[in-house]
């Protein structure tokens, strides 16, 4: 099914910057083009600020993306200015920076008093800061606090090839008085309160990781005061936890590469991707302190790719199998037809809500 329709202007509502602006309903068809059954099709409707005109919007059958194919309006410069401002702030967002606002940090309630005998502790943390400042990979961003050296916050961008692709995953860190003799405490901001996102994440943000001494492991996999670093913790979270097959992070009798193992892993990835979408929605609605500009800029840029992936997964592509700007690969229609409908049905609600959030920040206009 391919949809083309007129969108009527609705009464004014409060949007960006608390200014009253007109809003329309942006209709985005992400239906299965080669499926005769229209009952499984999904049309996303999101809010978008416009002038008093009618817009024609459709899905481009010649591409794999969701697009606005024509607009019968003379747009003001407001959106262009907003886009420039968003991209400018995003482009200037530093990978490592020292900030002041700790108000929403998970560990802000821990007592903090830098005593004279803790000079070695402070020097070690400053050394950690320097390591982070000079060595962070492109997909990890960190903020430390000038008034609370014991606190840090990091965000990791989910990697391609995983069910976490394009998501933003926030972690708060606490460095106790006896650091580095003990590892840092790390808590994941888990807005879904779900254990389906990753087997290493607890419902209240706890983490199971050998490097944090919260999971078993060989001696060289655990925290070693003279060797281990915060950078190592963050890279481990990205490479060992937010991985392509998180199912195998669990203790299980299933063997990686076996047919039963593949089925269980694919099913787990689908659940993880759905929870990742819900996490995106929450992160956009309630961005954490000191990362507001980063959150808006990231999803402003990635919105279309995320929705393109959702559409491909509904058509049978395996979660995590897509590469940006490429054609849709690995679509097994026979598998898709025989696969339980729970996944495609479960995608409907978060896709609709996520598209609404993308439209609200102006990402569907670019």
**How far apart, in Å, are the Cα atoms of 46 and each of 42, 229, 361?**
13, 44, 11
Q: DSSP letters of 268-326? A: HHHHHHHHHHHHHHHHHHSPPTT-HHHHHHHHHHHHHHHHHHHHHHHTTBPTT---TTS
Q: The pTM is what?
A: 0.79
Torsion angle of C-alpha atoms 129, 216, 249, 307, degrees rounded to 10: -30
| Catalytic annotation, residues | 208
In this structure, are residues 243 and 250 in contact, taking their beta carbons and an 8 Å threshold? no
The Cα–Cα gap between 306 and 302 comes to 6
Q: Is the pLDDT of residue 264 over 80?
A: yes
120 burial via Cβ count (<10 Å: 0-12, 13-18, 19+): exposed
Q: Write down the domain spans for the chain.
A: 1-75, 96-249
224 burial via Cβ count (<10 Å: 0-12, 13-18, 19+): middle
The Cα–Cα gap between 171 and 173 comes to 7
The Cα–Cα gap between 169 and 155 comes to 5
Cβ neighbours for 294, distance < 8 A, ≥ 6 positions apart: 90, 93, 141, 155
In this structure, are residues 208 and 215 in contact, taking their beta carbons and an 8 Å threshold? yes
> To the nearest whole percent, how much of the chain has pLDDT over 70?
71
The Cα–Cα gap between 204 and 324 comes to 33
Q: How confident is the model at residue 138 (pLDDT cuts 50, 70, 90)?
A: very high
Please provide the average confidence, as pLDDT, over all residues in the chain. 79
| Residues 82-107 pLDDT 10s | 889 999 999 999 999 999 999 999 99
Q: How confident is the model at residue 6 (pLDDT cuts 50, 70, 90)?
A: very low
Q: Is the pLDDT of residue 124 over 60?
A: yes
Q: What is the structure's pLDDT at 253?
A: 79
Q: Is the pLDDT of residue 213 over 50?
A: yes
Q: What is the structure's pLDDT at 106?
A: 96
Q: What is the structure's pLDDT at 77?
A: 62
Q: Is the pLDDT of residue 32 over 60?
A: no
Q: Write down the architecture of domain 96-249 according to CATH.
A: Roll (3.10)
In this structure, are residues 302 and 87 in contact, taking their beta carbons and an 8 Å threshold? no
| Residues 288-344 pLDDT 10s | 999 999 999 999 999 999 999 999 998 889 998 877 655 544 444 444 443 557 888
Q: H or E segment at 350?
A: helix 342-360
């Amino acid at each position: 099914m391919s949809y083309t329709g007129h969108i009527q202007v609705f009464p004014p509502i409060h949007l960006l910057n608390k200014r009253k602006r007109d809003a329309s309903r942006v209709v985005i068809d992400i239906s299965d083009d080669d499926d005769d059954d229209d009952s499984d099709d999904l049309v996303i409707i999101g809010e978008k600020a416009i002038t008093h005109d009618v817009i024609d919007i459709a899905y481009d059958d010649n591409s794999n993306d969701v697009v606005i194919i024509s607009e019968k309006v003379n747009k003001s410069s407001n959106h262009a200015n907003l886009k420039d401002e968003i991209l400018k702030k995003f482009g200037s967002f530093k990978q490592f920076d020292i900030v002041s606002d700790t108000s929403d940090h998970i560990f802000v309630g821990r007592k903090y008093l830098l005593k004279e005998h803790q000079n070695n502790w402070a020097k070690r943390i400053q050394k950690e800061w320097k390591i982070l400042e000079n060595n962070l990979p492109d997909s990890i961003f960190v903020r430390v606090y000038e008034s609370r050296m014991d606190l840090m916050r990091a965000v990791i961008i989910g990697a391609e090839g995983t069910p976490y692709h394009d998501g933003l995953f926030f972690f708060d860190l606490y460095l106790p008085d006896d650091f580095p003799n003990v590892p840092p405490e790390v808590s994941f901001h888990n807005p879904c309160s779900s254990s389906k996102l990753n087997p290493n994440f607890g419902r209240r943000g706890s983490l199971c990781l050998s490097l944090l001494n919260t999971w078993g492991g060989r001696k060289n996999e655990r925290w070693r005061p003279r060797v281990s670093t915060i950078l190592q913790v963050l890279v481990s979270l990205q490479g060992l936890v937010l991985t392509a097959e998180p199912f195998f992070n669990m203790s299980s009798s299933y063997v990686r590469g076996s047919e039963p193992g593949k089925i269980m892993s694919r099913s787990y990835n689908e659940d993880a991707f759905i929870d990742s979408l819900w996490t995106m929605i929450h992160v956009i609605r309630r961005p954490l302190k000191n990362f507001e500009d980063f959150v808006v800029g990231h999803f402003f840029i990635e919105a279309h790719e995320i929705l393109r992936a959702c559409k491909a997964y509904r058509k049978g592509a395996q979660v995590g199998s897509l590469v940006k700007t490429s054609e849709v690969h690995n679509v097994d229609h026979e598998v898709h037809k025989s696969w339980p409908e729970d996944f495609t049905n479960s995608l409907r609600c978060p896709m609709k809500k996520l598209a609404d959030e993308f439209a609200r920040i102006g990402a569907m206009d670019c």
